[in-house]
Amino acid sequence: MAAQVGRRYRAGLLLTLCFLSCASGSGDDVVTPAAVRRRQLETRRHLYKLNKPAVMSIKSPDGDIIDCVHVSLQPAFDHPLFRNHTIQTRPSFHPENHYEESKLESKLGRNSSHGRKASKQISQLWHKNGRCPENTVPIRRTKEEDVLRASSVMSYGRKKKRTIPFPLSSDPDLVNENGHEHAISYVEGDEYYGAKATMNVWNPQIQQSNEFSLSQLWILGGSFGEDLNSIEAGWQVSPDLYGDSNTRLFTYWTSDAYQATGCYNLLCSGFIQINKEIAMGASISPISDYGGSQYDISILVWKDPKEGNWWMQFGEKHVIGYWPSFLFSYLADSASMIEWGGEVVNTVADGAHTSTQMGSGHFPDEGFGKASYFRNIQIVDSSNNLKSPEGIGTYTEESSCYDVDNDQNGDWGFYFYYGGPGKNPNCP
């Protein structure tokens, strides 16, 4: 046992040294033993803070460990503002007039006029080996190597500062400051109290480990400066964050344009989870097959008109949890813009656009079974009703790399195809 502990310690020391050396940015920089020990100590303190005592733990087939943590011990309650917070166990109201997915799938199963077949149901890989008991929430355990991949302990689980992911109203000179590229549909100019969409799930290829590809909806308030409020949910592939290329369910939030607030999933105080079935950041499976079976997920985010909290639902039955309204400034009232679509990071490796894929990695014109889609996109209005959006716009920085194409029909309501391969002969 002592030998094993010693080997683990030496391995951790070497890993820390490697990450510190890489983070220094110069072969001339000297990484001292004191710096290594300091980083190790910071990392272990952070892991102790994130990884709460578990009632039970479940080993997922993909290597993740899912800890079943008592609902009152989750990371949200580390924040002073949450210490006297009474957990809201269910939303006071649920949006009305939403599409009934069971009826829709029945239609699609008989093939619609566009030849689309019924989409399949998705679960999470860890379910194969167990479920969490009542009064607990499943939390993906953070490993030491996860934290060490970040540039610093405090930046782990957070987007880079001054990320400008929504350039529609921002300074054009800042559009690609951090290499973020999008193919989105959006609405603006009204007060919005939530949004819903069904999106098919893929496993896009990522060229560089510090790039990512995601598909999500955004609930936005404020300007596109340093006061941006954002709630985000969808699926993503992010080797830097998770250490692999699995497709995972995720959330994100910020109240100051990604500067000091917010994080992915449950990696900081903020989102309060009440659901024992779904783990944020865990792998989702199966995924869509090019030219074959299509698998999709539905996500709904809405503002409880009584309590004011922003709730998230996954599928038709899993109410996951909520973001308390006091986390936000502008979103404490309502959102001013809703966006749906894809986002990637292009690091311009070797001076050229990378081949990181968005969605399926294919352009919208390839259609069902080959291109990525969002269907039945809706907004929640001031009366807590889900309805079709009006005045939908589209945006992409470079349509020859990633594109988006809106449409509408009876089965899918308002929908769009989006995505692309990134680097190709026409992509600059």
Q: Domain-by-domain residue ranges, the chain?
A: 2-50, 89-125+152-419
Count, residues in the chain: 428
Q: How many CA atoms lie within 13 A of 139 on its CB side?
A: 33
Mean pLDDT along residues 219-236: 93
Which has more confidence, 310 or 121?
Answer: 310
C-alpha separations of 262 from 42, 323, 327, 332, 343 in Å: 20, 11, 9, 15, 18
pLDDT-derived band at 30, boundaries 50, 70, 90 = low
pLDDT, tens digit, for every residue of 80-133? 888 889 999 999 999 986 444 444 443 333 334 344 554 566 789 999 999 999
Q: Please report the pLDDT score of residue 120 as a whole number.
A: 62
What does the block give as tokens for 353? 């656009």
Q: Please report the pLDDT score of residue 224 as a whole number.
A: 79
Q: Please report the pLDDT score of residue 94 as a whole number.
A: 92
* Beta strands at 372-380 and 136-140: parallel, antiparallel or unpaired: unpaired
Q: Please report the pLDDT score of residue 274 as a whole number.
A: 97
C-alpha separations of 320 from 8, 51, 290 in Å: 36, 19, 30
Q: Please report the pLDDT score of residue 122 as a whole number.
A: 78
Q: Which residues contact 159 (CB under 8 A, 6 or more apart)?
A: 252, 254, 258, 262
Which has more confidence, 174 or 320?
Answer: 320
Q: Measure CA 47 to chain center.
A: 21
**Catalytically annotated residues:** 232, 343
Q: Is the pLDDT of residue 174 over 50?
A: no
CA distance 158 to 279: 18
b/e per residue 287-305 (b: at least 16 CB within 10 A): bbeeeeebbbbbbbbbbbe
Mean pLDDT along residues 43-72: 96
Q: Please report the pLDDT score of residue 29 as a whole number.
A: 58
Q: CB count, 10 Å around CB of 325?
A: 15
pLDDT-derived band at 34, boundaries 50, 70, 90 = confident
* Beta strands at 136-140 and 213-221: parallel, antiparallel or unpaired: unpaired
Looking at every residue in the chain, the average pLDDT score rounds to 87
pLDDT, tens digit, for every residue of 252-291? 999 999 999 999 999 999 999 999 999 999 999 999 999 9
**What is the pTM for the complete model shown?**
0.88
Q: Please report the pLDDT score of residue 103 as a whole number.
A: 42
Q: Which fold has domain 89-125+152-419?
A: Jelly Rolls (2.60.120)
Q: Which residues contact 4 (CB under 8 A, 6 or more apart)?
A: none
CB 143 within 8 A of CB 135: no
Q: From its phi and psi, is residue 419 left (phi > 0), alpha (psi between -120 and 50) or beta?
A: left
Mean pLDDT along residues 353-358: 97
Q: Is the pLDDT of residue 58 over 60?
A: yes
Q: Please report the pLDDT score of residue 160 as a whole number.
A: 75
